[in-house]
Structure 1
């Protein structure tokens, strides 16, 4: 069985969804390499191991992720890009890791998620395996201590309603043969190292795409270093699925020029 940690990226009229697939027997290995990277971030730049890594804020220089003002001052753009690249390199050390990105010309993440699930279902059938998906999102209010019972219940119900399109994508699969098991497990990225990892990879995949399909994202100024970071994962792209491990949802099957 594989665990899949997924997060979305994109802007304007194009949305992407990236999943990191790891077999159950490789889960410990992936976590070991990721936490080793977190230790290096703390030693090199002072980014604590429990600080959430969010690619958009990290690469664009937003926030103050380091432990001290002096460290934050030194943690400029080049250092932040190097930190992102370091964590991608750590992911490549896990031989069993696989990466899939699905992209759609839509503003609706749920539409891309449906295609994402369909591709995973077909892949898992061919591999004679099964998949459980952990997706970035709130499963409920993070803290109910300050809420009245009625407000807490309303927050939980809202979280359940927000997850409905993603549940429906799973429950629409044929029960007798389905390989994507259970409903999606919503995990807050703040508390999930692997959802953060999917965010870093997804952000890199989005910039890799935006460099080659500027007509979809005309207002985006793609970061070439992100494309380079994404290409580090070439040996881990899900084989037989799209170009550069990227699949187009729906009828848009046009590809983009590969970069050596």
Structure 2
């Protein structure tokens, strides 16, 4: 069985979903390499290992992720891009991890998610395996005691409603033959290192795709450094799925 950690990227009329697939026996190895990268990130630039890494903020210079003000001042754009690259290099050290990016010319992430699940179904059947998906998303309140029972119930209801398009994609699969098991597990990226890993890979994949399809995002400029970072994982891209590391689907696919 495989675990698949998924996050989205893209903008306007083009959305992407990137999943990190790891077999159950390779899960600890993937987390080990990621945490080794976090350790070097802390040693080199002072970014604590429990600070959430969000690719857009990291690469574009937003926020103050370092432990001290002097470290934040030194953590400029070149250093942040280098930090992003460092983390992807560490992910690439895990031999068993696989990467799938699905993209489409649509603003509706649910449309791309259905295509993503469909590709996972075909792949898992070929590999004679099964997949459980973890998505970045609201999972509920942090502490019920702190927010109060009524507020906590509201947060839970919002989380359940927000996950509906993802649940629907899973529940539309034929029960007798489906390879993507259960509903998607929504995980808050603040508390999941591997959702953060998927976010960093997904952002790199998005820029990699922008270089190939600039007409989809005419007002945006792709970063070659992000494409280079995504290519560090090229030996982990699912073979036979997509062109140059990305599966492109029509905007109305699976709708």
- Per-residue CA distance 1:49-106 (angstroms, 9 max, x = gap): 0000000000000000000000000101110000000000000100011000000111
Counterpart CA distance in 1 for 2:170 and 2:252 is: 23
Matched position secondary structure for 1:63:
coil
Give 5+ residue unaligned stretches, structure 2: none
Q: Does 1:248 align with 2:248?
A: yes
Q: Indicate conservation of the 8 Å contact 2:111/2:251, yes or no.
A: no
Q: For residue 101 of structure 1, what is the aligned residue in structure 2?
A: 101
- TM, length-normalised to structure 2: 0.97
Q: Indicate conservation of the 8 Å contact 2:111/2:252, yes or no.
A: no
Matched position secondary structure for 1:145:
helix
User: How many positions carry a matched residue from both structures?
Assistant: 253
Q: For residue 45 of structure 1, what is the aligned residue in structure 2?
A: 45
Matched position secondary structure for 2:160:
helix
- TM, length-normalised to structure 1: 0.95
Q: For residue 258 of structure 1, what is the aligned residue in structure 2?
A: none
What is the Cα deviation at residue 251 of structure 1? 6.9
What is the Cα deviation at residue 141 of structure 1? 2.0
Q: Indicate conservation of the 8 Å contact 2:22/2:98, yes or no.
A: yes
What is the Cα deviation at residue 152 of structure 1? 1.7
Counterpart CA distance in 1 for 2:228 and 2:247 is: 19
Give 5+ residue unaligned stretches, structure 1: 254-260
- Per-residue CA distance 1:102-142 (angstroms, 9 max, x = gap): 00111111111000000000100000000000000011122
Counterpart CA distance in 2 for 1:152 and 1:44 is: 39
Counterpart CA distance in 1 for 2:197 and 2:148 is: 35
What is the Cα deviation at residue 196 of structure 1? 0.3
Q: For residue 227 of structure 1, what is the aligned residue in structure 2?
A: 227
Q: Indicate conservation of the 8 Å contact 2:104/2:251, yes or no.
A: no
Matched position secondary structure for 1:214:
coil
